[in-house]
Amino acid sequence: MNFLIAKLPNKIIKLLVTFVLMIALDANAVEWLGEVQLAVNITFDLDAETLWWDNPDTMVGNPSSLSQGNYGPMVAVPKILALLSKHNVQATFFIPSWVAEEYPDTVLAIVADGHEIAAHGVKHIPPVQLTPSEELNVFAESIRALTDISGKKPLGYRAPAWAFSDVTLKIAAEHGFIYSSNMMNSDVPYVHAEPAGLVELPVSWILDDAPYFWFDEGSWNKKIHSAASVKEIWQEEFSAAYEARGYLDLTMHPQIIGRPARLKMLDDYISWMKGFDNVWFATCSEVAEHMQKIHD
């Protein structure tokens, strides 16, 4: 068999691997509970000022630059919490622990409304830029701070900028995380073979607010999209996922989605989604726990 494979052209081997992978992913198609047609995770990465520290195009000493980050916890989050409460849906907030310590009242307000707090590094440095021992320290510090402030150990991990190293998921599993929300190799949740049992809640750029709206001092060649055009794209994504009995992970940033017109769009979009039957609006850990149950 190995001899036969060795004689096949690379293109054919790649096609065969893709085909086998497609079968494997299809075999793992999600069985939602009861009548559930679609699971929706509404998520926010509350990066605050750390997003601007991570950006080489911005001047970290410039108060105007940093104020774009401050807008997230101080202006956007209260409005987002009111919006989520109005629709009676729970969300998951991935928070760098530096942000949690800088804005503990914001974290407590999120927790008080029943939303989930999950890990997103300490100062938003992508793990791919760290050594394995630095990564270990960041995980320990992030868990300690989030647990101290929120009163609950985080169960989920999203790497800053989704840029993690080849040991990040192993470290996450060893630190008791039950899910990762980083990968783009599936449109439905799945369970990793390695590290065994770690649930993946996949993400995608098309369902992220940053590609459409992100703008700063280094973005002059970029066009800001209208909220209406993004709603149209997100409605298309929802409709297709609903038809496929799949999954939708919205990745948003309070400092980006939190502008008035964009929040109005999010308000309309959630109302529109709630018009469909059997949509399960859940926190990420609820979906991960469901995946663990059906996987056992």
Query: Which CB sits closer to Zn ion, 38 or 203?
Result: 203
Cα–Cα distance measured from residue 254 to residue 140, given in angstroms and rounded to the nearest whole number: 25
Closest distance between Zn ion and the C-beta of residue 240, in Å? 26
User: Which of 129, 81, 289 is closest to 201 using CA atoms?
Assistant: 289
Closest distance between Zn ion and the C-beta of residue 159, in Å? 9
How many alpha carbons fall within 13 Å on the CB side of residue 259? 13
Query: Which CB sits closer to Zn ion, 37 or 165?
Result: 165
- Give the three-class secondary structure for 182: coil
Query: Which CB sits closer to Zn ion, 72 or 246?
Result: 72
Cα–Cα distance measured from residue 43 to residue 66, given in angstroms and rounded to the nearest whole number: 23
Closest distance between Zn ion and the C-beta of residue 120, in Å? 6
Contact 281, 40 (CB under 8 A): yes
From the number of C-beta atoms within 10 Å of its C-beta (0-12, 13-18, 19+), residue 235 rates as middle
Find the helix or strand (DSSP H, E) in which 8 lies: none
Query: Which CB sits closer to Zn ion, 69 or 160?
Result: 160
Query: Which CB sits closer to Zn ion, 90 or 255?
Result: 255
Query: Which CB sits closer to Zn ion, 126 or 197?
Result: 126
Closest distance between Zn ion and the C-beta of residue 183, in Å? 16
* Residue 241 neighbours by CB under 8 Å, 6+ apart: 38, 187, 247, 248
Binding site residues, Zn ion, CB under 5 A: 45, 47, 160
Closest distance between Zn ion and the C-beta of residue 101, in Å? 16
Closest distance between Zn ion and the C-beta of residue 95, in Å? 9
Paired strand residues for 248: 40
Pairing of strands 92-95, 38-45: parallel
